[in-house]
Structure 1
Amino acid sequence: METIDLVATATQILELLSDQGISGKSLHAYTHTGIGCVIRHFQAKGILCAAPEMLDAFLLEQREFFDQGAFSVWKWRLLRRGCELLKHCAEKGSVDLPPLSPWMPALRRPRQSIWKDTPTPEQLADLDNIYALVWRTNSAMLELGLTDATVGHYRNEGLAIILNRHYESGTDRFSGEILDQIVAEKRIQYEYGQIGRGSYQNLRKAAYWIQEMHQTGHITLAKVPNWGQRELVEPFNSLLREFCTHTKQSESMAETTRNVARSAIRRFLFEMEDHGFRSLADFTLINVNGCVTSFAAHYAGGLGSAIFSVRLFLRFLFERNLTITDLSQSLPELMATRKMFHEGFTEDELEYLLEHPDRTTAIGKRDYAMMVLAAQSGLRACDIVRLELGSIDWRAREIRLVQHKTGEPLSLPLEAESGNAIADYILNGRPDSALPNIFLCHTGVIRPLDARSASGVVSKHMKLAGIPAKRRAFHALRRTFGTRLLQNEVSFELIQQLLGHRDMDSMKLYLSIDEQGLKQCALPLLSHRKAGG
């Protein structure tokens, strides 16, 4: 469509509107205002046929008059719809015009919809155009296999909010500052309980993916890092990285232990920075001791583990001749530990929990199989999500694996209920995939579950089943298993083997939460007697 015959097209529009039964009042408004003003404007210039771009320019000119108060919003809406009707009817011969998008005064054009409007070639060519970035991010999520429902959450609670904030700020250019501002505001709302964790996470992930799309031209479904996370100064950052590499290569720490240690050492080094230290040359025994005092205030529990991690780090520096003095000597050797004993599930709670998954669905089959396996085997979440199809000897009814936390091999009997649940999931619910892992993610790209997702499975069904949280999640199934063994008078040595504990001291936790067993150990009260009686 090069040009539009204005009079002929206007006549066709009015006839079609009349055939549809539009009221005489509305027809009069289109004839004399909506379309009539457009025709009179171009006829005054001797133009009988106008290109669509000319109608757009006319509309922008009229918008300026409207913003100056030259006429009412009623006339503006009629003029805008009249121009769109002329273009639509000339192209399609119809007056079935969809609802018009809201007008954005700051950008002098209609608002585009992520759901239905493809960016213009000019927008796609501009790598900083926020609408094109948001549209590309939305398309990339669908291409990576996320479901429409999942993409809808990210779009409604993330992409749309980010896009609107840019427009409200009067810009259609990507702004890292606006992105940081939105995430910071949503974080505060989440911390004050004004929005849920899911809404905050959807916004944070959407912001990260837009930023990633802007920087690389694509997005990944890897774990999203903490937004605005503080970074250590050099050389502290390099030293911590070197320490982590050393513990990994020497296999002196399991991955989970190394992550906990890294977090504690980072916090300690931040304390050193906050006290004004920027290099190893500034470290002294007194300085380290003072920083540890401040550092300890961040730990309501687990301080002993944190101090142990810092001690290892300081010894590492001394052994590498990076410090003249062994600064670990300034740390206390013994600490009063604070133990947090988390409950398992009662028999009734466990029954409610296992009854809740809908086993007619694939995800329900998976969730049930994971939970019943944890309850009957005591396996950790990190080991269950790493179970492979070859980990189960179906003939011998055994599970064989190498524990992720300890690196030790473990063989466990496979209970009939657990085996049937796993088999039902593999045969009737598990996605068709060449991945060796038994339990897979069913949303987006098919991939193995991680331990955090497994914990989320238990938390979800606890909430839906109305079971109080009480600081319980996936690991509570392991505690339930260990406590039940203890209550059935299974020997400590066998419980230690079944749970895969290296140290017998780990059994103290189950002694502490075996309420009935503790009651049997209680000493009777002495009767009150008079002196000399």
Structure 2
Amino acid sequence: MDLKKQTIDELTEDFLLYLRSIKRSEGTIRRYLTAWERLKAYMALHKHKIYTPKIGEAFLISELGTYRYEDLPLSKQNYVSKIEALVDFQNTGKVLLGMRKKTPKEFNGAIGKAMQVFIDFRKRNYCLSPVTINNYEIYLHSFLCFLNDRRIGSANRINHAEYLQFITQLDTSKPAARHVALYILRNFALFLYQNGLVAKDYSGVIPSDNYKQQSRLPSTFTKDEIELFLGAIDRGNPKGKRDYAMFLLALKLGLRASDIANLKFENISWITNEFNFEQKKTAKPITLPILPEVGNALIDYLKYGRPQSFEKHCFLQVVYPYNRIASHDLGNAVQFYLKRAGINLQNRKHGPHALRHSFASHLLQESTPLPVISEALGHTSSNSTMFYLRIDTSALKECSLDVPPVPFSFYEQKGGYHA
């Protein structure tokens, strides 16, 4: 049958058969069906029988209005992806499951070119991490779109009003993100002035927000809670074997989720019993021991849980086509087992970084020297490790000083308290 001339019922029926052939769960299938129900109702209302990409586009606009995929919340992006997947399947007979990748941000026009030069300058002179570079691209591209909407095409037409109006659109409920945006914007304004692209320095009009980074205590779990958490994992199936090994890397060695997801076979030396890899966040090389408990869990997964694959990364998804896991897969798994274990998560973050925080907390409780903890966590500076001192309340109590009694003469002085 010509896939490009299918009715919506024929297309979705073939799609469902495909999903089952690649061993997708019934839960995943139900989510696709839910997304397609409104599409079918839309086509019936407009008396469409044959599905085409244009019908899919018109349907999404009727549901979401004129939208930019990158600006949609995650739930809506998932919704759009399930509709767009029909077109991929219609043309190829298969589909790359999951959300579509975000299109690269384009910095067009004179201002866009200046922004790209600015980003390249910061990358070259400040050795920015990939995460920081991504932040520069996100906020500067958002500012560029803001200026384009106002038909401002050259840097010398940007004045203080544009900066201040754009700042009012920043989400005040996310102070950390707003702080980063203001910092980037302030440096961009200064860059324009220093390079003669504008006649006036507007960096001074961009307000300071007094945001205090790392103001909240890190979320941690006690040793008893960690035992409950690990005990909630069913290690009798491939998913449980994989998750148990991943979690031990965070709990026993303090690995970040990104480094667990990026771990490759080449990073494991069974001869020296070491992990050797470059940290994704800091680009700093690190060597960590393969502890017996960690090594046994990893071997159990590799021998009895990992699907056969030529993929070089250690940890794979448990369903076909067995792609490497992503950091957010690890986050979803941590939340799942914490809830299954019945652990109270109130006022605590419950992602994989909380496992890393717990690792540091337990080292502090065992009176491990700060430089050793810093090295184990892969911090580039001990100042970063100082953040964890605030969670060791018992050690802080030992540092407390007795408050000397106030002499009675203090109360008798002029202006003081009189009985």
- 1:211-233: per-residue Cα shift (whole Å, max 9, x none)? 54568876323643579x99988
TM-score scaled by length of structure 2: 0.80
Aligned residue number for residue 170 of structure 1:
47
List per-residue Cα deviations over 1:329-377 (Å, max 9, x = no partner): 5445783425233311111111111111111101100000000111011
Q: Secondary structure at the match of 2:409?
A: coil
Q: 1:307 aligns with which of 182, 197, 208?
A: 182
- Alpha-carbon deviation of 1:405? 0.8
2:136 corresponds to:
261
CA distance in 1, matches of 2:221, 2:203: 41
**By how many angstroms is 1:478 displaced?**
0.8
* Paired residue secondary structure (1:442): coil
Alignment deviations for residues 310-341 of structure 1 (CA, whole Å, 9 cap, x no partner): 34444555576654555445445783425233
Q: Residue 416 of structure 2 corresponds to which residue in structure 1?
A: none
Are positions 1:487 and 2:362 aligned together? Answer: no
Following superposition, the deviation at residue 411 of structure 1 comes to 0.6
Cα offset for 1:268? 4.0
- The separation in 2 between residues aligned to 1:287 and 1:201, in whole angstroms, is 30
Distance 2:41 2:169 in 1: 43
Residue 349 of structure 2, aligned match among 460, 471, 475: 471
CA distance in 2 between partners of 1:136 and 1:183 (Å)? 27
Structure 1 residue 491, shift from structure 2 partner = 2.1
Q: Is the contact between residue 137 and residue 219 of structure 1 (CA under 8 Å) also seen in structure 2?
A: no
What is the rounded CA distance, in whole Å, between the counterparts of 2:201 and 2:319 in structure 1?
Answer: 51
Could you tell me how far 1:427 is from its partner in structure 2?
1.0
Distance 1:241 1:340, change over 3 A: farther
Q: Partners of 2:197 and 2:320 in 1: how far apart?
A: 47
Q: Please give the per-residue CA displacement for 1:187-209, whole angstroms capped at 9, x wherever unaligned.
A: xxxx9xxxxx88x7764431231
Q: Which has the higher contact order (CA 8 A, sep 6+)?
A: 2
Give % identity: 25
Kept in 2: contact 1:363–1:442 (CA 8 A): yes
The equivalent of 1:188 in structure 2 is none
Checking the alignment, whether the CA contact within 8 Å between 1:401 and 1:409 is kept in structure 2 is: yes
Q: Deviations over 1:257-280 (max 9, x none)?
A: 222333333444455567774542
* CA shift digits 1:80-130 (9 cap, x unpaired): xxxxxxxxxxxxxxxxxxxxxxxxxxxxxxxxxxxxxxxxx5x74537x54
Distance of aligned partners of 1:515 and 1:394 in 2 relative to their CA distance in 1, 3 Å threshold: same
Alignment map for 1:445-464 (pairs within 5 Å): 445-464=321-340
When structure 1 is superposed on structure 2, of 492-501 and 150-159 the one drifting more is: 150-159
Q: How many residues align structurally?
A: 397
Gap change, CA 1:463 and 1:444, over 3 Å in 2: same
* Aligned partners of 2:81 and 2:100 also within 8 Å: yes
Asked whether the equivalents of residues 134 and 163 of structure 1 are also in contact (C-alpha less than 8 Å), the reply is no
- TM-score (structure 1 length as normaliser): 0.64
The alignment partner of 1:399 has SS state of strand
Partner of 2:69: none
What residue is the counterpart of 1:434 in the other structure? Answer: 310
For the aligned residue pairs, the C-alpha RMSD in angstroms reads 3.7
Query: 1:439, CA displacement in angstroms?
Result: 0.6
Q: In structure 1, what is the equivalent of residue 5 of structure 2?
A: 126
Equivalence for 1:206: 82
Shift in CA distance, 239/456, structure 1 to aligned 2, threshold 3 Å: farther
Distance 1:427 1:483 in 2: 32
Indicate how the Cα distance of structure 1 residues 203 and 476 shifts in structure 2: closer, same or farther if over 3 A, else same: same
Preserved CA contact (<8 Å) 2:77 2:99: no
1:140–1:247: structure 2 CA closer, same or farther, 3 Å change rule? Answer: farther
Bigger Rg, which one: 1
Q: Which residue of 2 aligns with 1:149?
A: 26
The structure 2 residue matched to 1:337, chosen from 204, 212, 216, is 212
Amino acid aligned to 2:394? Q
1:159 aligns with 2:27: no
